């Protein structure tokens, strides 16, 4: 029987600047050795017409992400969400976050392994 998924991470990648606070916040929270961690920032550079390009940074929850269960149980935000410098990450119930997806473009909803 498939697992029931309840919570997720909403990323507004229009505003992610690639500061890596999420990645190090996770490393600190779980004392991951360098090379491991629950969230990775992906960089995408898309060439556009007229010599332009669009830079996208995208925090991606890895196989090690547990959606910060020990924190959320205490009513705290996940470490990555709390420290995000651009305030472009949100934790919540999938159905609530899914509704937010319709409010603006350049968003993605992750439902990690958890």
Partner 1 sequence: MARGKNRQIVRTTTWSAGPGCHGGCGVLAHIEDGKLVKIEGDPEHPWNQGRLCSRCLAMTQYINHPDRLTRPLKRVGERGEGKWQEISWDEAFDLIEQRLGRIREEYGPESVIFSMGTGRDIGAWICMLAYAYGSPNVMFALSGIACYSPRISAVETVQGDYCILDAAQWFPKRYEDPRYKVPECIVVWGYNIPASCPDNVFGHWIIDLMKKGTKIIAIDPRLSWFASRAEKWLRLRPGTDGALAMAFLNVIINENLYDKEFVEKWTNAPHLIRADTGKLLRESDLVQGGSPSNFVVWDTASKSPVVWDSEQVDYKSADLKPAIAGEYEVTLTDGTRAPVKTAWSVFVEQVNQYPVERVSEITLVPQKDIVEAARLYARSKPAAIHWGVPIDMTPAITPTVQAITNLWCLTGNLDVPGGNVISRYAFDAVAYALPGAKGVIKLKSKEDDAKRIGANQYGPLRKFIWRAQTDLTLEQIFTEDPYPIKGMWLQACNPVAGIGLEPKKWVEALKKLDFVVAVDLFMNPTTQLADVVLPATTFLEKDSVRSWWVPLQSINKAITVGECKPDIEINFELARRFDPDFRWNNIHELFDEIIKPSGLTFKELQQKGWAFPPEGHPSHPYNRYQKGLLRPDGKPGFQTPSGKVELYSSLREEWELEPVAHYEEPPFTPVSQPEMLKEYPLILSTGRRSPVYFHAEHRNIPWLREIDPDPIMEVHPATAGRHNIANGDWVWVENWLGRCKFRAKITLVVPEWMVMTAHGWWFPEEAGEEPSLFGVWKSNINQLIPMGFQGKDGLGSPMKHLLCKIYKVDE
DSSP 8-state symbol, 33: P
Spell out, one character per residue from 66 to 85, where the chain touches partner 1: x when CB under 8 A holds, - when not. --------x-x-----xxxx
CA-to-CA separations, 104 to 12, 69, 100, in angstroms, rounded: 9, 28, 8
In the list 29, 39, 61, 65, the residue contacting partner 1 (rule: CB under 8 A) is 29
Question: Residue 2, class by beta-carbon neighbours within 10 Å (0-12 exposed, 13-18 middle, 19+ buried)?
Answer: exposed
Other residues' Cβ atoms within 10 Å of the Cβ of residue 16: 22
In the list 5, 17, 42, 113, the residue contacting partner 1 (rule: CB under 8 A) is 17
55 near partner 1, rule: CB under 8 A: yes
Specify the pairing of strand 89-93 against strand 7-12.
antiparallel
Residue 5 or 101 having the CB closest to partner 1:
101
96 near partner 1, rule: CB under 8 A: no
Interacting residues with partner 1 (CB under 8 A): 14-15, 17-21, 23-25, 27-29, 33-35, 45, 47, 52-55, 57, 74, 76, 82-88
């Amino acid at each position: 029987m498939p697992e029931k998924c309840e919570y997720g991470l909403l990323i507004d990648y229009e505003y992610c600047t690639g500061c890596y606070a999420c990645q190090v916040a996770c490393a600190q929270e779980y004392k991951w050795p360098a090379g491991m961690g629950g969230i990775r920032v992906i960089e995408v550079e898309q060439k556009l017409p007229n010599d332009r390009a669009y830079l996208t940074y995208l925090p991606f929850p890895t196989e090690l992400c547990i959606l910060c269960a020990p924190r959320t149980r205490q009513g705290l935000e996940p470490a990555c969400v709390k420290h995000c410098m651009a305030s472009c990450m949100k934790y919540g119930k999938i159905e609530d976050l899914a509704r937010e997806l319709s409010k603006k473009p350049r968003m993605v909803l992750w439902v990690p392994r958890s």
